[in-house]
Structure 1
Amino acid sequence: MRRPLIVALVTVLVVGGLGVGAWFGYRYVKQRITPEVCHVATSGGSLTLSPAQARNASVIVAASVELGLPEQAAVIALATAYQESGLRNLDYGDRDSLGLFQQRPSYGWGTEEQIMDPWYSSARFYEELVKFTNWETTDVNDIAQKVQRSGHPEAYRKHEENSRAVAGALRGSVPASLGCVSFEPDSSPDRAGLLRVLQAFGPQLTVEESDGGLSIKAADETTAWAAAQHVVANSYDAALVRVQLADREWKSDSQQWSTLRNPGEELTITAS
């Protein structure tokens, strides 16, 4: 039996020494050269997500885990959110439509405040999705349309490939496929969002704070990869700059996972 997997994540201090004006000037130029963006490998290349899109996708997928739903549910939800909002938590829309899925309070989806909560809106989407017989095997576009009842019934189809790539990364079925490039970590990290995502995995993960970062033990390799890539997707707010899983490593200055020459202990993820 394999030992538990460990995800260890640590923060890094922002290097000082620049004057305020010079620092902001340097930051402006650097961000233009290396914008903060996430990349997810697809069958035909890669797709990009902004930090906000990556964070929203993380919540949508984590909500499917928390509800005990298969990866296909996350694919459908992501395709829907891609079409409805571009994976953005919009506070406007057609008539009273709001949020990631453009749900309408007047149609009974919830209050405005509830719908603007990505966790609530994702759970409400899944609640409606599972009411349909054979939703798991129904065409992604067709089942999304049944839930949403959109005036554009074929619009979800074009998002299926990207949605499968994102879901595969964040459910752990496609390892080392999501990476993010960041400029500098926030000196005051907010890890509440990341911790909420990891909490969705329940007893499959054990999370502890360690040396200014996090230590996460996972029950199996797929869950470990899911956790590791959720961490990367939330790395901006959480101010995390390095994740290692076995012989693979992600750093914030590169969008890709690299192979280490001297890997750590098998099935152990560490960061420094």
Structure 2
Amino acid sequence: MLLEGIETLLVLAKEGTMSKAGSYLYISQSAVSKRIARLEKKLGKKLIEPSGRRIKLTADAIALIDNIGPSYKEIKGLIFDQQRFQDHTIITLECSETLVAGYLGEMMGNYIKTDPYISIATHHTPVIVEKVQSGEATIGFCAGHLPPQHGLATRHLFDEPFAVISHQSLSQTPQALLVNDFQNPANANQASLLQKVGIVPLMEMDSYTAAAQLALGGVAPALVPASIVKTLKIDPAFCHHFDFLDELTRPVHLCYRQSSYQSARIRTLIETIADVVPTKA
């Protein structure tokens, strides 16, 4: 119960509201409130205060998170390491949306016929790494740069190139582009490179698919990875290459806890994904 309460506090601190924390944990808002109340009673400390529609952490809560947060993730990971993956144990594969759409559709359709006990979800790379660290996910399939000191085993598959998508012909490097969310740390290198070559981020999308479709609709050129070009079957006539793109790629990795690789089922899935993903797009 104590670990459950700490997990709820950590999620609440991140999400900001009882409702969002409940959605993240797949429990009701009242269940979140009860967990926090039990934790406060156990510790003898007030941990949260109302602040409009959001909650505010007390000084005691902030200190608790600072001291326990990193250890909690490791404890969950160590518990995960003790789990034995039997034939019917669910293997959770957390993926970048663009990668699963671009490279895994047909492969997983065939694979799941032989091992149906697999769950697939999509998240941004920082969240994927956190979930693998804590054991909430078994394998991560990540696009973009991994956070430092993640402590996971990784397999670098390839560096995925980008294209500039535009419905109109482009004779020179565009001055502005539709881009993906630069608040995502995995995309930090894109922001710095565009700044270096003097290209302005016109709009920041949370979806490369949306950026590509807007570009094809004539809104503005968009910076799009090869997996999206493949998924949407974008005509090569609308895919433009410029010199700055030679420096712009995003690394594609598999990540997992080292102990997981000892499981034959997990190892087979890792190797199958590695075999089906191209070494270059």
TM-score category (smaller protein): under 0.3
Report the structure number with the largest CA radius of gyration. Answer: 2
After TM superposition, the score normalised by the length of structure 2 is 0.26
Higher fraction of helix: 2
